Amino acid sequence: MLKFPIYLDYSATTPVDPRVAEKMIPYLCEHFGNPASRSHAYGWEAEKAVEEARAEVAALVNADPKEIIWTSGATESNNLAIKGAAHFYKGKGKHVITLKTEHKAVLDTVRELERQGFDATYLDVKEDGLVDLDALKAAIRPDTVVVSIMFVNNEIGVIQPISEIGEICRERGVVFHVDAAQATGKVEIDLQKLKVDLMSFSAHKTYGPKGIGALYVRRKPRVRLEAQMHGGGHERGLRSGTLATHQIVGMGEAFRLAREEMAAENERVRQLRDRLADGFKDMEAVYVNGDVERRVPHNLNISFAYVEGESLIMAIKDVAVSSGSACTSASLEPSYVLRALGRNDELAHSSIRFSIGRFTTEEEIDYTIDLLRRKIDKLRELSPLWEMVQEGVDLNTVQWAAH
Amino acid sequence: MAYSEKVLDHYENPRNVGGFGKEEEGVGTGMVGAPACGDVMKLQIKVGKDGVIEDAKFKTYGCGSAIASSSLVTEWVKGKTVDQALDIKNTQIAEELALPPVKIHCSILAEDAIKAAVADYKKKHTD
Q: How far apart are CA A159 and CA A130, in angstroms?
A: 7
**CA distances to A183, A198, A292, A381, B17 from A4, in Å:** 27, 39, 29, 26, 30
Q: Do B59 and A403 touch (CB under 8 A)?
A: no
The pLDDT score that the predictor gives to residue A37 is 97
State pTM to two decimals.
0.91
Give percent of chain A above pLDDT 70: 97
What ipTM does this complex have? 0.93
Q: What integer is the mean pLDDT of B18-27?
A: 90
Residue A21 clears pLDDT 80, i.e. is over it: yes
> Which uninterrupted H or E stretch holds A202?
strand A198-202
Q: Where are the alpha helices (DSSP H) in A190-304?
A: 245-280
Q: Is A275 helix (H, G, I), strand (E, B) or coil?
A: helix
SS3 content of chain A, % helix, strand, coil (to 5): 40, 15, 45
Residue A328 pLDDT grade (very low, low, confident, very high; cuts 50, 70, 90): very low
Q: Report the catalytic residues of B.
A: 37, 106
Strands A119-123 and A95-99: parallel
What pLDDT, in 10s, does the model give residues A66-91?
999 999 999 999 999 999 999 999 99
Burial class (CB in 10 A: 0-12, 13-18, 19+), A158: buried
Average pLDDT, chain A: 94
How many beta carbons lie within 10 A of that of residue A36, not counting itself? 14
The pLDDT score that the predictor gives to residue B92 is 97
The pLDDT score that the predictor gives to residue B1 is 58
Give percent of chain A above pLDDT 90: 87
End-to-end Cα separation, chain B, in angstroms: 48
End-to-end Cα separation, chain A, in angstroms: 46
Q: With beta carbons less than 8 A apart as the criterion, state whether A10 and A357 touch.
A: yes
Q: With beta carbons less than 8 A apart as the criterion, state whether A276 and A319 touch.
A: no
The pLDDT score that the predictor gives to residue B38 is 83
Residue in chain A closest to B12 (alpha carbons) equals A315
Most B-contacting residue of A327, A379, A398 (CB-CB within 10 A), to test interface? A327
Interface of A with B (CB under 8 A): 306-311, 314, 325, 327-328, 330, 332, 334, 344-346, 349, 381-387, 395, 400-403
What pLDDT, in 10s, does the model give residues A27-62?
999 999 999 999 999 999 999 999 999 999 999 999
DSSP 8-state symbol, A216: E
Instruction: Say how far residue B44 (Cα) sits from the centre of its chain.
Output: 8
Dihedral sign computed on CA atoms, order A276, A74, A195, A137: positive
Q: Do B14 and A382 touch (CB under 8 A)?
A: yes
